[in-house]
A = this chain, B = another copy of it.
Amino acid sequence: MGTKGNVNINWQGEMAFEAELNGHKFMIDAGEKVGGKDKGPRPKPLMLAALAGCTGMDVVSILKKMRVELDDFSIDVEGEQNDEHPVQYVKMHINYTFKGKNLDKAKIEKAVNLSQERYCGVSDFYKKVIPITHEINIEES
C-alpha cells in the first residue's frame, strides 16, 4: 500500500477548529447563521479546493514539460449541493482560465484532459460519486 497522510483539527469553541495540515495551520469555521464566527472557510468547500489544487498542479506540471509558458492561470470550481441530510455535493464544474501569448490550444486541452482522465486522484475519486464537467478559457495576454 501507498503513503499515508493525516490532518489534525482542534476545537476552538463554538463551531471553530484550527486545522494542521503538512505543518500549516488554518482555521475552519461555520458562518454566523449556523452559530459560527466565520473565522475560516466552511469544511465542505475544502473538497472543492482539494480538486482545484490537484488538477491545477497536474496542469502546470504537464504544460511545463510541453514548454508552454503561461502568464496567468486560474481555476474556479463550482459545486452544487442537495437539500436533504446528509447535505453533499451532487455535481461539480471546473472552469480553467489560461492567459498567455499565442497559447497552443491543443496542448492546453491535452494537459487538462490528461489531468482529468489519468492523473488527478481527487477528480477520479469524486467522479465515482457525481458528474464533474469542465470548460477551458484561453485569453491573450
Q: Is A47 an interface residue (CB 8 A)?
A: yes
Could you say which residues of chain B place their CB within 8 Å of the CB of A8? 52, 74-76
Bound CA–CA A12/B124 (angstroms)? 25
| Other-chain contact of A49, B7, B81, B125 (Cβ < 8 Å) | B7
Bound CA–CA A40/B52 (angstroms)? 14
| Other-chain contact of A45, B5, B15, B43, B130 (Cβ < 8 Å) | B5
Could you say which residues of chain B place their CB within 8 Å of the CB of A61? 15, 35
* Mask: chain A, 112-129; 1 = CB below 8 Å from B; 0 = not: 000000111111111011
Contact across chains for A81 and B46 when beta carbons are under 8 A apart: no
Number of copies: 2
Q: With A17-B56, A61-B35 known to touch, is A122 a contact of B4 (CB < 8 Å)?
A: no
Contact across chains for B47 and A43 when beta carbons are under 8 A apart: no
Contact across chains for A2 and B82 when beta carbons are under 8 A apart: yes
Closest chain B CB from A100 CB (angstroms): 11
Residues of chain A at the chain B interface (Cβ within 8 Å): 1-11, 14-15, 17, 19, 21-24, 26-28, 30-31, 35, 38, 40-54, 56-57, 60-61, 70, 72-83, 85-90, 118-126, 128-130
